[in-house]
Every structure is written in structure tokens, then in C-alpha cells.
Amino acid sequence: MQPIPPQSGRGSGVRQSRDKSRPRRKGPASASIAKIVSGGQTGADRAAFDWAIANNIPHGGWCPRGRLAEDGIIPDFYRMQETVSTEYAVRTERNVSESDGTVIFTIGKALTGGSKDTATIATRLKKPWMHISKVDSINPPEELRLFIKAHQIKILNVAGTRASKEPLIADFVKATLRAAFSEPRASDSRDSDTTLAKRKRG
């Protein structure tokens, strides 16, 4: 069965004005993030794409030749570019290098597999990155907001666990992105800055 593309939000989702009657459609996401990038894998990657599409945020990124993923071929409605290689590491490096910063989502505490490789590549390229773990992070949405603010990120690369390893990862990613961009904050406390310093990398 052909996957059903996620539905995009209404036009009010990208407005710059602050309409108090629609607290979840004030447009801070489009004001803070110009584009969401990922490798198109199941789980964290596609959850980020689905959130971007639903909120009228441009999305894209590099994927392996043939649009390969663990469930077969990445659906066409995700706007991906294919690398010349079928190796996942090749597209990972392209996405890290061509974005302003990378956030890696996991349910568990430790980085493993492709998520660990993403962190290694980002460190080698001296690109900012952070790890958000559901079981270990104190306030995932706030930490993400502060990371983006600290590094002035406009193109955000979203990576993390695939669906077969952590079935709940997609819901975690969507909930974090939704909360991170749903309400603008007047100011960030010093305590939040301390939290960021502990979480951010690069």
C-alpha cells in the first residue's frame, strides 16, 4: 500500500503576525527555521518531515541512491536528493555539512548505530549538534529552542533512531518539535542557558 502523504497545515500556519485566537498558529516555526533536513529513514527522520509538511516548513535532504530506507523506498512525496552511493554514511555527511546544526533524537540514553555515526561526523566537521533523549533530557523542547538560538540555526538537520529500533521515536520527535515552536518565549532564563550548556555539542 502506498503511504499517504502527511497533510500540510493551513496558510495561517506560516503567518508572521500573532493571532491570539490561534495560539498554535502564530508562525514562530517559520520565523526560526527556514528548512528541515533529514536522511529520510523511518522513525526520527520522517517524523521531522511530517511535522515540517504539516506546518508548511520547507523540507529536504540527501538520501542513498535508489531512495533506500529500512522499509524499502522512501516515498516520493518526501523531497529528497539521491547521493551517488547506497551507503547511509554518505548521505549523513552531506546532510550534516549542508545544515547549520543537527539534533539527534533517541528514546534511550545512549547513541548507537547511525545516530552515533551522525554525532561523530558532526564533531569531525566541527558542526554544532545536540542529543535529545526522552529518558535523559530534562526539557526537550526548551533545550532544542536554546540550541537553535545559540547557533542561529536556520537549516536544521534532524537525525535519530529508526522506527524498527525505537517504535515510539516518531511520536517523541513530533511532540518535541510541536512544543518547541508552538509558543514564542519572551526571554530565556539563566537556568535554561545552563541546561543548554550541558546538552549542546560542537
CATH of residue 73: 3.40.50.450
Q: Let me know if residue 46 belongs to a domain.
A: yes
CA distances from 181 to 13, 31, 175, 200 (A): 11, 10, 10, 18
Q: Let me know if residue 137 belongs to a domain.
A: yes
Question: What is the b/e burial string over 32-67, where b = at least 16 CB atoms within 10 angstroms of the residue's CB?
Answer: bbebbbbbbbbbbbbbbbbbbbbbbbebbbbbbeeb
pLDDT value of residue 19: 39
Q: Where on the phi/psi map is residue 34: left (φ > 0), alpha (ψ -120 to 50), or beta?
A: alpha
pLDDT value of residue 81: 97
Overall number of domains in the chain: 1
127 contacts 96 by C-beta, under 8 angstroms: yes
Domain that holds residue 192: 27-201
Q: Let me know if residue 183 belongs to a domain.
A: yes
pTM confidence score: 0.78
Tell me the per-residue pLDDT of 24-41, one tens digit each, with 9 for 90 and over. Answer: 444 444 347 999 999 999
104 contacts 95 by C-beta, under 8 angstroms: no
Q: Let me know if residue 15 belongs to a domain.
A: no
Q: Let me know if residue 9 belongs to a domain.
A: no
Which tops the pLDDT comparison, 1 or 177? Answer: 177
Tell me the per-residue pLDDT of 137-165, one tens digit each, with 9 for 90 and over. Answer: 999 999 999 999 999 999 999 999 999 99
Tell me the per-residue pLDDT of 42-77, one tens digit each, with 9 for 90 and over. Answer: 999 999 999 999 999 999 999 999 999 999 999 999
| φ, ψ dihedrals at 172, nearest 5° | -65, -45
